[in-house]
Amino acid sequence: MKTAWARSDTQSFRHSQEVTFSEGNYLNPGPWRIPSDHYAVLDYCKRFGVKLEPFIQVNYSAYLHNSNAFDGKPQRFREISTDFRGHVAELLAKVVDQGALDAEVTEADAGLLRDALKRYGALTDNMEYTTGEQSSAFRGWASPEGGGTTGKPEPSEVISLSDILQSNLWRNLTAGDDLHMQSTIFQPVGGMDKIAEAFAREVDGLVTYNAKVTRIRHEGDTVTVTWMPSSGGDEQTETADYCICTIPFSILGQVDHDFSSRMSGIIDSMYYASSFKCGIEFKRRFWEQDENIYGGISYTNLPISLISYPSTDFFSDGPAVLLGAYSWGAASYQFNAMSPPERVETVLAYGSQIHPQYRDEFVSGVAVGWHRVPWVLGCYGIWKDRDADYMDATVMDGRTLMAGEHISYLPAWMEGAILSALDAVQRLHATVTEA
């Protein structure tokens, strides 16, 4: 979208942001990736014709950064990953050679383990991880392989295990190992709202938009929902036999309702994680052109948390948008307290420590603090006592069933919301048919 207006904050801290990204560029301020094991979302995308493309989660050319390590210089993911794995493999190989694993590993398996560690850790014939051809073939060369008379590569210097441990860069090495972060991961072509648009087409005419629910009341065998147009006007009511309520508990707790004391207590006890995102458009794709980074994520200890590079339009020359910050916890609260221009400026300052090109290439930015989005007031629901409260929250309360990502074991994911809704519909169907 060439120009749009994003109303991002609540009444007490309201700012309008003009999004002036070039045609085709966008930011996913909410969900931004679909794991390949999220079968419900993928099924709907297939059914509704939502075109998907790969989302690059792990890029070994991206950076790991700690402002207090390596003089603040970012390190390539592959270098830290290879060196950490190599040093650990060498240590374990020494334990095997010393026979310290005899109680757990047979002699035959010990030999196979030794061979596996040599390959896994890029160790030398002496079972050492050191600067040389084996390590450079994984971590990269100081002077890469070439052709002709000048093509002989020069090995790169490995980083010591102590330096890696002290840097804390190892903390993000498993970012792509989590079940929901493993390749292949997808994203809708053109932005995540393509999924919402597809659902809207399927239920065309059945959805009332821009409606603020103000009251939920039960009487006999009916439930009545009162709402007001967000643009203003008279109250409206809808009365039905049953209600499936997907309003986040962060909002539902502020709605006038007559749920049971048990349900009300659960609603009021749930707090919502804070999160913050900032998208920045740059004149050119300098991360590709200058640093050979094509998609993926760089991680940092700075309050921006990470930088995610676009997984689309590789090698193009024009403006491009990257996710310049995705913060949680205390850092996100700090960003939420700023005005949008202050947020963008702060993100630029932090990002410049990793990519010095930021200032010269900057075009525009947009920032979204989820705690200030008025229809959710947070990112996802966090249970105070899931073991005690979860099943009670799924029970029909009067004529109302709850659904949403908060009523799932996949919080913060679209998959959790969809599976929760499908479960609620199935249980409601069973209730009606049994009656």
pLDDT for 275-300, tens place per residue?
999 999 999 999 999 999 999 999 99
What is the model's pLDDT at position 14?
A: 67
pLDDT beneath 50, residues of the chain: 1-12
Query: What is the rounded CA–CA span in Å between residue 199 and residue 183?
Result: 26
Can you spell out the DSSP letters for 347-379?
A: HHHHHTTT-TTHHHHEEEEEEEEGGG-TTTSSS
The CATH homologous superfamily for domain 208-270+383-434 is FAD/NAD(P)-binding domain (3.50.50.60)
3-state secondary structure of 317: coil
Both tokens of 100, joined, read 């310290």
Question: Nearest CA to 38 among 182, 191, 247, 246?
Answer: 182
Q: Which CATH number is 78-143+154-172 given?
A: 1.20.1440.240
How many other CB atoms sit within 10 Å of the CB of residue 178? 10
| Cβ neighbours of 168 (radius 10 Å) | 13
Amino acid, single-letter form, for residue 109? D
Predicted pLDDT of residue 106: 87
> What is the CATH number that goes with domain 4-58+182-194+273-372?
3.90.660.10
Task: Quote the DSSP letter at residue 404.
Answer: S
Q: In the chain, where are the structural domains located?
A: 4-58+182-194+273-372, 78-143+154-172, 208-270+383-434
